[in-house]
Amino acid sequence: MSDEHVRADLVRSGGFAGLTRRSSVDTATLPPDEARQLRDLVAGLDFAALADAGASRSRAPDSYSYDLTIVRGPERVRVVRDDRGIGAELRPLIRFLDQRTQPG
């Protein structure tokens, strides 16, 4: 659905400096082109598979940890992954959110 409400919240932590960065985007407040891009990035995600995959946290030094919550209409999923566990399915969404991060 082209006008479906989507919200994504990301907390990225770790890395060389150990910083925490947050990003929150919502189709209700994004410019129309960015809202469409967010919907497209989330449209292909299999929420059930993401939820069933469980969490993965890296013990590798200087790696990042991603805590991602996605709301698509009535559906909601929380995904916790490390750099190696992000996978090709989530990378474009993580990049989109990373471009909108704030220190915190």
Over residues 37-84, the pLDDT tens digits come to 999 999 989 888 887 765 555 556 677 889 999 999 999 999 998 888
- Token pair 């750099």 is found at 83
79-102 b/e with 16+ CB inside 10 Å = b? Answer: bbbbeebbeeebeebbebbeeebe
> Is the entire prediction scored with pTM above 0.85?
no
Burial of residue 42 (CB within 10 Å: 0-12, 13-18, 19+) is buried
pLDDT at 2: 64
State the number of CA atoms in the 13 A half-sphere of 63 facing the CB. Answer: 14
Say if 11 falls within a structural domain: yes
If one counts the domains in the chain, the total is: 1
Say if 1 falls within a structural domain: no
pLDDT tens figures, 1-49: 568 999 999 998 887 777 788 999 999 999 999 999 999 999 989 888 8
Domain limits at 77?
6-103
Assign residue 32 the CATH number of its domain: 3.30.350
